């Protein structure tokens, strides 16, 4: 099903969840560009990933929404929120593709990545909800 290998950024502070995402992505033929546990780690990102999976509550608080907006502004990459609390997104990143609810499935993550990379004319996959603006 995967049409192309993507460099995926994981923004997740829970070590076991980050590992689970890494396994899913690598099994799905993608490359993990980096795993960041907090907003400060974003400064260490040396090159642009193709797409990002972003949790909201990170090691330094509710900084995921800000990280997503920074990734969107700096790199223009698609952002997929991975969270149990989509209401906390607030004002979504300009390039936000959708939300995968925790607990997630392998299919939901890989489907969301495919959709995020190639969503022109594609159907939103099961497990990927639209992002609702706080407005």
Q: Output the CA angle 19-20-24, nearest 5 degrees.
A: 115
Quick: pLDDT tens for 47-79. 999 999 999 999 999 999 999 999 999 999 999
* Dihedral (Cα; 108, 24, 104, 57), 10-degree rounding: -120
Closest CA to 66 of 42, 100, 98: 42
SS3 52: strand
SS3 127: coil
Structural domains of the chain ordered from first start:
7-117 (3.40.50.2300)
| Model confidence at 22: pLDDT above 60 | yes
Quick: pLDDT tens for 23-43. 999 999 999 999 999 999 999
φ/ψ region of 86 (left if φ > 0, alpha if ψ in -120 to 50, else beta) reads alpha
Residue 118, number of CB atoms within 10 A of its CB: 12
Percent of the chain with pLDDT over 70: 95
| Model confidence at 1: pLDDT above 50 | no
In this predicted model, which residue has the larger pLDDT, 87 or 121?
87
Measured between alpha carbons, how far is 73 from 60 in angstroms, rounded to an integer? Answer: 21
Residues linked to residue 34 through DSSP beta bridges, in sequence order = 9
State the DSSP H helix or E strand holding residue 9, giving kind and residue range, or none if neither: strand 7-11
């Amino acid at each position: 099903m995967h049409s192309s290998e993507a460099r995926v950024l994981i923004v997740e502070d829970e070590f076991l969840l980050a590992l689970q995402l890494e396994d899913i992505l690598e099994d799905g033929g993608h490359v993990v560009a980096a795993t960041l546990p907090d907003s400060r780690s974003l400064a260490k990102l040396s090159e642009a990933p193709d797409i990002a999976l972003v949790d909201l509550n990170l090691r330094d608080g509710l900084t995921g929404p800000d990280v997503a907006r920074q990734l969107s502004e700096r790199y223009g990459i698609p952002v997929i929120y991975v969270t149990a609390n989509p209401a906390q997104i607030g004002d979504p990143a300009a390039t936000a593709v959708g939300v995968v609810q925790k607990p997630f499935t392998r299919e939901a993550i890989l489907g969301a990545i495919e959709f995020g990379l190639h969503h022109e004319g594609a159907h939103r996959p099961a497990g990927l909800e639209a992002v609702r603006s706080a407005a």
